Structure 1
Amino acid sequence: MQPLPGTETVTVAEYLGHRLLQAGVEHLFGVPGDFNLTLLDGLARVEGLTWVRSPNELGAGYAADAYARRRGLAALVTTYGVGELSCFNAVAGSAAEDVPVLHVAGSPATTAVARGVLLHHTLADGVFDRFSQAYAQVTVVQETLTAQRAAEQVDAAVLAATVHRRPAYLSVPADLAELPVDATRLATPLTAVPSPADVAAFGADLAGLLAGAERPVLVVGHLVDRCGLAGAVLAAAVAGGVPFVTTLSAKGCLDEDHPLFAGTYAGTMVDASAAALVEAADVVVHLGVVMTDVLSGFFTHRPADARTVRLEATTAVVGDGPAHAVGLADAVGVLAEQFAARPAAAPVPRPGPPAPLELGVGPLTQQALWSVVQDWLPSGTALLADTGTSFWGAAGLRLPADTVFVGQPVWNSIGYALPAVLGQGLADPGRRPVLLIGDGAAQMTVQDLGSTAAAGVRPVVVLLNNAGYTIERALQSPTAGYNDVTPWDWHGLAAALVGPSLSYHLATTAAELAQALKAAGEDTASFVLVEAVLDPFDAPPLLRALAERNSATAG
């Protein structure tokens, strides 16, 4: 349902639905519960919104996270208490990774709260704000709707999530979901208005730093992708001939075959030439960068200093100067203008892609697996890599043009990427997902194989069956029993969850893997599962480097 011309009121649920549509949200993720049923009925009346079935709230949260990365916002709808706590880990991950997920929790009626009624899904003590207080730790704003300010509060939560690129929390009491609110507010878009004075002040500071600079470099972080600014950042780099490196959390954000691409930057851990370029630069521009222990190569990066420009979602800082209230999009616009006025620098030479590996006939190894994936991976896909062996193998790939890369290297929650396929596939249906995931990670969220298939998404899933948590084996105590997982019949399980659309391949050698991936690429109508059997103690080179750095730091 769309508001009719002249309609003066809509319900709270309908108002929320229209605000979500305006923000590009077409799918709702979550699980129903008695406190959110009236809300869900109201959202169902809003034409253009589709409910996505998920087996549990955690998977729904992971799917919403991936959806928001592509659409700029996602809606996650749960019930009070048990539901919202079940997806807390997912929302915390969205906070760590700067992903704008609006978590909408259907909550007890205002009348019950006012009387302190002892309800289910509570601690039976008449206290009702514990969970909103918990969400205050991982969301940029928390709103519990009131009858007096409901529409204003919906707007505040949606705008906060999209502006800050962080999760927001919205609690909708059951007796307010059908409350009529002013529909005319919907004619005013929710946008943040930049301050011309702040933009001008930032431009002046930036011009002063760039004056005389001969070796600037861009360090591209994941906020560039979250804000949909990859094209604008690339245009700015091209305008000034400025080379760029990407952090591990921004891998795939910009074309890795572009002449100005100078490598992956994680301190000195991943790419020595990229590290040397940043170290020698006389101006370093950080675009939405966060340097955790892993992303910085265990703090071997060049720290921000007086020659560093730091651009975040809502602030811009030049050197040791003040923080200007400038959004990332506006800051990139200023950067492009100033780069365009500079003489272009010479492009940085980069080595070509690695030569294909001789496949051989022995058991499949990590080295052979990643070589085969590198040789096969088509352009125009979405490559999702789960935490652990899969991420650190994928991090070493040279991505083909027009490849979206989805990982979670800040929060590092094992099992994230499998439900993320659902969100990525629905948000960007023209791009086939390719999932790389270990057997241990897959066991955490395997139910979402079924929800993904039911939604019509047809990915290629490469399951790295190495009998456990190989990343933990690489870090410590490789033979400890706690790093093993129970062996599963993956073919039988996937057949039960996916149904007749499943196409299964077993690969125990590099040649079998190459053949399976070739068939998978040609079979776009099927949900393809390739089970790749690997030695439990084998690991890709970057994972071994990570383990060595981690061990040295711990020591």
Structure 2
Amino acid sequence: MQTVTVAQYLARRLGELGVEHLFGVPGDFSLTLLDHMLADGRQQWVGSPNELNAGYAADGYARTRGMAALVTTFGVGELSAIDAVAGAYAENVPLVQITGAPPTAVAGRGALVHHTLGDGDFGHFARAYAEVTADGAVLTAAGAATRIDEVLATAVREMRPVYLAVPVDVATAPVQPPAAPLPVGAADPRAVDRFRDAAAGLLAGARSAVLVAGHLVERTGSVDAFARLTAAAASPVVTLTSARGAIDPGAPQYAGVYCGDLGAKRAVLAVDTADVVIEAGTLMADAVTGMFSHRDDPAHTIHLGVHAATVAGRVFEGVPFATALEVLTGLVDGRVLRRELPDVPARGPEPGETLDQAALWAHLQRLLPRGHRLVTDIGTTFWGAAGITLPAGTDVVAQPVWSSIGYALPATLGCAVADPSRRPVLVIGDGAAQMTVQELGALARLPHPPIVIVVDNAGYTIERALQSPQAVYNDVAPWDWCALARAFAPGVDLLTAEPGTPAELDAALAEAVRTPERCAVLHVRIHPLDVPAGLRGLADKYQGR
């Protein structure tokens, strides 16, 4: 059998996992690696102006494809990307950080080469990555293929990022091509049986239940399986702010967005009055629970995690998320867990005479097309998105657990590359956008470019809402965002607008929707102290903590 290089082997394994693009920034230690990875044409290169942007883009890509690859050079490149990889770890996003490393002999003798700390220790950065990844390896020629398989299988199984450092000489070492699928593990039948018995026991005495959809429903590709569970249970369903695409908002069981007592009133009622709470892939962090104001009731809760399920506080390892969904569907099918909730009218944003947060989100709610992706940063835009009703087939891509501002702009690139059929609509504050603005050039040149709405409130308004609203450290320099977009994409036919009234915003949004072939950049100025209702509630809790 003809051999392939280690780099080609890695590219083939990534192709099997649906990875058709490599994100990153080249460097001298990664050039040989990239030449061999790209030689077979299984992946296309998507370069970024910096490694942090590339990491955020890979994160957005993985949320769509289920896996992504980020390629950087040793030291300076991989450390630039580590914030993005840490965010992927916190948010259950599987990707692989691939580092082009110095030759094995160079590292072995501790040579004082560039991109090192000058101390002869070449292990600093692999040790740093061990803190924010589920598995990792510095490859050697002997056993490279086996370690690649083990590390990638961990990423898929654990839904976490992993790390591979590939020295220059190892990248070209010969190995046999992949001969079998990756071994990603399976359910433990005995654990599944014990989980089934425990869940059946808890449900036996229940007259009602509520389903709480968390981020793993979408992250694991389980939307259809979750729909089967909701249909079988006929119980109310709520979504966390991190799981807006888990269910069609027009479904009869849907009771709204749950964010502790800051959520929709109907959602709060559904959770608070249920005999059993079924948490499907939730991570109850402060930003998605209204500063921990959610119902925390382990004795009456069934929780489904990545590969473990919990019933009334009892943990069953070896029960993958998809398997647990299937088990619960069988248990509730035919049971009378239906519960009618009183009609509590939804209170979304209402536009007024001025262009403020309420007007912005009311118009977006009305004009956002079906099937698009709403991408937001963790600031005011995240909380604005939390308060609107989405059309069918639309989800929200955000990073509420890691909450690294600037994430959304490069993540939009990853989403658009991963699935060109779903046009992203990016809504981002000016403070966040200034951090990762360089990716505007790539967004504008996409065959299917996004709609970009920069909410200019002259700085970090989410911080103003939480504390010290007049503090100088929350101010940022004003930028001309429309001119900036044209500077980043000279010669590209852009749609730019600076709407100053609700009517002008309406017209600009309508034009952006009508011309999907053009990247639209809308510069919307908002008063620095104007915040969405959800953020006002969060700020009150933060200040009273």
User: TM-score per shorter chain, which class?
Assistant: over 0.9
List runs of 5+ in structure 2 lacking aligned partners: none
In the TM superposition, residue 352 of structure 1 has moved relative to its aligned partner by: 5.9
| Residues 422, 457 of structure 1: 8 Å contact kept | no
Aligned residue identity for 2:407: Y
> 3-state DSSP class of the match of 1:378?
coil
Alpha-carbon distance change, 322 to 416 in structure 1, aligned in 2, over 3 angstroms: closer
Aligned twin of 2:510: 518
Aligned residue identity for 2:399: Q
Percent identical pairs in the alignment equals: 48
In the TM superposition, residue 35 of structure 1 has moved relative to its aligned partner by: 1.0
Aligned residue identity for 2:239: T
| Residues 434, 459 of structure 1: 8 Å contact kept | yes
CA–CA separation in structure 2 for the residues paired with 1:10 and 1:467: 54
Given the two structures, how large is their TM-score scaled by the length of structure 2? Answer: 0.97
1:275-424 map, 5 Å: 275-343=268-336, 345-348=338-341, 351=344, 357=350, 360=353, 363-424=354-415
Out of 432, 435, 439, the residue aligned to residue 444 of structure 1 is 435
Aligned residue identity for 2:465: A
Structure 1 segments of 4+ aligned residues over 4 angstroms from their partners? 349-359
Aligned residue identity for 1:409: P
CA–CA separation in structure 2 for the residues paired with 1:357 and 1:300: 26
1:115-514 map, 5 Å: 115-183=109-177, 185-343=178-336, 345-348=338-341, 351=344, 357=350, 360=353, 363-499=354-490, 500-514=492-506
Alpha-carbon distance change, 353 to 552 in structure 1, aligned in 2, over 3 angstroms: closer
Aligned residue identity for 2:224: G
Number of aligned positions between the proteins: 544
| Residues 265, 344 of structure 2: 8 Å contact kept | no
CA–CA separation in structure 1 for the residues paired with 2:413 and 2:144: 31
> 3-state DSSP class of the match of 1:309?
strand
Aligned twin of 1:20: 14
CA–CA separation in structure 2 for the residues paired with 1:420 and 1:218: 29
| Residues 237, 339 of structure 1: 8 Å contact kept | no
In the TM superposition, residue 217 of structure 1 has moved relative to its aligned partner by: 1.2
Alpha-carbon distance change, 278 to 344 in structure 1, aligned in 2, over 3 angstroms: closer
Aligned residue identity for 1:265: Y
In the TM superposition, residue 235 of structure 1 has moved relative to its aligned partner by: 1.0
Larger CA deviation: 234-243 vs 32-41: 234-243
Aligned twin of 1:534: 526
CA–CA separation in structure 2 for the residues paired with 1:355 and 1:407: 20
> 3-state DSSP class of the match of 1:70?
helix
| Residues 153, 182 of structure 2: 8 Å contact kept | no
CA–CA separation in structure 2 for the residues paired with 1:358 and 1:530: 18
Aligned residue identity for 1:434: V
CA–CA separation in structure 2 for the residues paired with 1:481 and 1:9: 61
In the TM superposition, residue 344 of structure 1 has moved relative to its aligned partner by: 5.1
Alpha-carbon distance change, 354 to 318 in structure 1, aligned in 2, over 3 angstroms: closer
CA–CA separation in structure 2 for the residues paired with 1:92 and 1:515: 40
| Residues 260, 347 of structure 1: 8 Å contact kept | no
In the TM superposition, residue 188 of structure 1 has moved relative to its aligned partner by: 2.8
CA–CA separation in structure 2 for the residues paired with 1:49 and 1:316: 36
| Residues 508, 534 of structure 1: 8 Å contact kept | no
In the TM superposition, residue 350 of structure 1 has moved relative to its aligned partner by: 5.3
Aligned residue identity for 1:284: V
> 3-state DSSP class of the match of 1:531?
strand
Superposition RMSD in Å: 1.6
| Residues 348, 388 of structure 2: 8 Å contact kept | no
In the TM superposition, residue 255 of structure 1 has moved relative to its aligned partner by: 1.4
Larger CA deviation: 231-240 vs 363-372: 363-372
CA–CA separation in structure 1 for the residues paired with 2:26 and 2:479: 30
Aligned residue identity for 1:384: V
In the TM superposition, residue 455 of structure 1 has moved relative to its aligned partner by: 3.7
CA–CA separation in structure 1 for the residues paired with 2:181 and 2:504: 57
In the TM superposition, residue 173 of structure 1 has moved relative to its aligned partner by: 1.1
> 3-state DSSP class of the match of 2:465?
helix
In the TM superposition, residue 357 of structure 1 has moved relative to its aligned partner by: 4.3
Deviations, residues 150-176 of structure 1 (Å, cap 9, x unaligned)? 001111111111111111111111110
Aligned residue identity for 1:207: A
| Residues 241, 347 of structure 1: 8 Å contact kept | no
List runs of 5+ in structure 1 lacking aligned partners: 1-6
| Residues 349, 358 of structure 2: 8 Å contact kept | no
In the TM superposition, residue 276 of structure 1 has moved relative to its aligned partner by: 2.8
Given the two structures, how large is their TM-score scaled by the length of structure 1? Answer: 0.95
| Residues 262, 350 of structure 1: 8 Å contact kept | no
